[in-house]
Amino acid sequence: MDFKNAKELLELCAAQDAPISSVMKMRECALGETTQEAIYAQMAHALWVMRESVTAPVEAPKRSIGGLIGGEAQKVCRHRTEGKAICGSVLSRAISYAMAVLETNTTMGLIVAAPTAGSSGVIPGLLLALQEEYGLDDAQIIDALFNASAVGYLAMRNATVSGAVGGCQAEVGVAGAMAASAAVELMGGTPQQCLDAATFVLMNFLGLVCDPIGGLVECPCQGRNAAGVTVALTGAELALSGVTQLIPFDEMLQTMYQVGRQIPPSLRETALSGCAAAPAAKRLCQ
């Protein structure tokens, strides 16, 4: 069950007549010499942490330690509850939740770094929004998280999720790919559609730099998590509609990795260029 790439993952899904989440659970049990009950309990705890990290900033905002963000998630949530959202209830909810997780992170709260702290809002933002909008139970969301973990594992094994190595395309891009794949399975899509959605996200975040103001995981990170759920939802919508990708996921992942290595070091988490070098950003750091 130890698939090494997306091609092998799809072959296992076909052989087992199972979704990506089931194959990932079988892999974890086999390699970890553990049980379905044990890994389910671990993922259920991760979901609990995700939900807590979403809830607190919406109800009681706090200013980040770096002082750059705080209260934005509540503003977006209020905009939706007042009936003013222009991008629909699912996406508006997902955006506010994704931003909330970044606020939790920057105020030293507990988060699930999936796949990194800087991109930790994308997966809970989208999945919890879908859960609330469609009345899904926790067991369905936990399965979706196993699906997301399969995509994250492939990125870790064959490329990178580090902003210092591959830019923000490797952080928010991979987080969005994980979220898109999970959303497709959650809404009844096939394994191939899951990976098509993931490919779409990587393709559309290709080249995104990592340029945090002051070296803090606050801005533009919070806004990019909001963008992450937006692109992920778009990718899921396209895949579920039957739109296919010309480039296989494995090739897209390698493309992302190669592009990331070509991004100048000053645009890979060093806070030496990009948004971090804008005059206004420098004044904030002073």
Contact (Cβ atoms closer than 8 angstroms) between residue 273 and residue 222: no
- Tell me phi and psi for residue 45, to 5 degrees: -65, -40
CA–CA distance, 203 with 173 (Å, rounded to integer): 9
Please tell me the predicted confidence (pLDDT) of residue 68.
Answer: 96
End-to-end Cα, the chain, rounded Å: 52
CA–CA distance, 37 with 29 (Å, rounded to integer): 10
Query: What tokens were used for 185?
Result: 């399975």
- Tell me phi and psi for residue 248, to 5 degrees: -65, 155
CA–CA distance, 199 with 238 (Å, rounded to integer): 11
Residue 107 is classified by DSSP as: T
Please tell me the predicted confidence (pLDDT) of residue 126.
Answer: 98
Q: Residues in the chain, how many? A: 286
User: SS3 for 249-266, per residue?
Assistant: HHHHHHHHHHHHHHCCHH
Per-residue pLDDT of the chain (286 residues; tens, 9 = 90+): 899 999 999 999 999 999 999 999 999 999 999 999 999 999 999 999 999 999 999 999 999 999 999 999 999 999 999 999 999 999 999 999 999 999 999 999 999 999 999 999 999 999 999 999 999 999 999 999 999 999 999 999 999 999 999 999 999 999 999 999 999 999 999 999 999 999 999 999 999 999 999 999 999 999 999 999 999 999 999 999 999 999 999 999 999 999 999 999 999 999 999 999 999 999 998 8
Please tell me the predicted confidence (pLDDT) of residue 85.
Answer: 96
Percent of the chain that is helix, strand, coil (3-state, to 5)? 70, 0, 30
Look at the block and give the residue holding tokens 């002073």.
286
Query: What tokens were used for 10?
Result: 């799809």
Fold of 19-285: 2-methylcitrate dehydratase PrpD (1.10.4100)
How many CA atoms, within 13 angstroms, populate the side-chain half-sphere of residue 86?
0
Measured at the CA of 103, the angle between CA 101 and CA 109, to 5 degrees, comes to 80
Look at the block and give the residue holding tokens 């645009």.
267
Look at the block and give the residue holding tokens 């988060």.
111
100: amino acid identity, one letter: A
Please tell me the predicted confidence (pLDDT) of residue 14.
Answer: 98
Please tell me the predicted confidence (pLDDT) of residue 1.
Answer: 82
| 101 three-class SS | helix
